[in-house]
Structure 1
Amino acid sequence: MKTVEFSTITKLPASPEEVFSHLADPNNHVGLSPLVVAVDNIRRESDKVHFTATERFTLGPLRYNNVIAVTMGLGAETISGEVVSPGGVRLTYGYRVDAAPGGTKLVDHYRLSAPFGLLRFSVSQAKKVQAARSLELLQRFEKNRSY
């Protein structure tokens, strides 16, 4: 299996504590990725959170719900995660949450492995999700920002 890595950086108008707390709560992941439509079975440990997420793929009138197992590790300024998806797709992701002038700098890093034939599709979907997540986070924190 081939592995691909990529990152995005987003500046958010919120404190690092607010951003970390938001990303550490699986319930906030619904809509954060345009694919994630539900989160269930949340189980918390001291420094980990386990849950299942339902991703919805659509192609014209066809819809496919892909249920994935997610484990998030909670560090000091980092959140890391592992996703096990059907078809042999594996995703490791990480958020680095750092203070920046006027808010927070969020680095969103992906490491994705997939079998030949699924890699191109998986990478294109993951990059779309990253871009959408940046925009959604900006909208969420702009909406909650007090002037």
Structure 2
Amino acid sequence: MSVDAFAHTFLVAAPPARVFEHLADPHSYVGLSPLVVAVRDVRTDGDQVGYVALERFRFWTNRIRVTMTLDPAAPAVVSDVVSPGRVRLRAAVTLAPSGAGTEVTETITVDSPSLLRRYVVRTARSVQLRRAAELTRRMSAGPS
């Protein structure tokens, strides 16, 4: 198994509370994450939200299990993902006020079999950057 980690920081034109509220809702990830096409079986237990997301790739669809841990005081959202092929991903998002908006930092750690490493890391990084662009777009569009 190979472990890789990388981070991305960007600004959005909305206060941290609004960004946190959006990221804390599993249904927000449909389209926010370019591979996620559906969210099912959402369950909340205290500060944790579990759900199943369907990720659509070119030739197949993955059912992934996600457990989000929410910390509104920080504010932060940590998503632990269990994907087929023995791939595990952790996305830790922290939010900090920045002028009239929010500085968002997403740190991703991926644990994957060596044979899948390059593909998994490349895909996770691409999704991370597209998710940042979509979150930026959504937050600049005003309250939803």
Q: TM-score range by the shorter chain?
A: over 0.9
Task: Give the CA RMSD over aligned residues.
Answer: 0.9
Matches within 5 A, 1:1-147: 1-58=1-58, 63-75=59-71, 76=73, 77-144=75-142
Q: Deviations 1:30-51 (Å, cap 9, x if unpaired)?
A: 0011100000000011100000
Distance 1:120 1:26 in 2: 27
Q: Deviations over 1:58-90 (max 9, x none)?
A: 0xxxx2010000000011211111100010100
Q: Which runs of 5+ in 1 are unaligned?
A: none
In structure 2, what is the Cα distance between the partners aligned to 1:18 and 1:138? 12
**Residue 104 of structure 1: CA displacement?**
0.3
Q: Which runs of 4+ in 1 moved over 3 A?
A: none
Deviation at 1:19, TM superposition (A): 0.2
- In the aligned structure 2, how far is the partner of 1:24 from the partner of 1:122? 24
Specify the code of the residue in structure 2 equivalent to 1:80.
V
Q: Give the share of equivalent positions with the same residue, in percent.
A: 40
**TM-score (structure 1 length as normaliser):** 0.94
CA distance in 2, matches of 1:85, 1:138: 26
- In structure 1, C-alpha distance between the alignment counterparts of 2:70 and 2:140, rounded to whole Å: 25
* Count of aligned pairs: 141
Q: Structure 2 CA distance, aligned partners of 1:73 and 1:138?
A: 22
TM-superposed CA distance for 1:102, in Å, is 2.0
Letter paired with 1:29: Y
- Partner SS, residue 30 of structure 1: helix
Partner AA of 1:68 in structure 2: I
In 1, Cα distance between the equivalents of 2:16 and 2:54? 27
Amino acid at match of 1:65: T
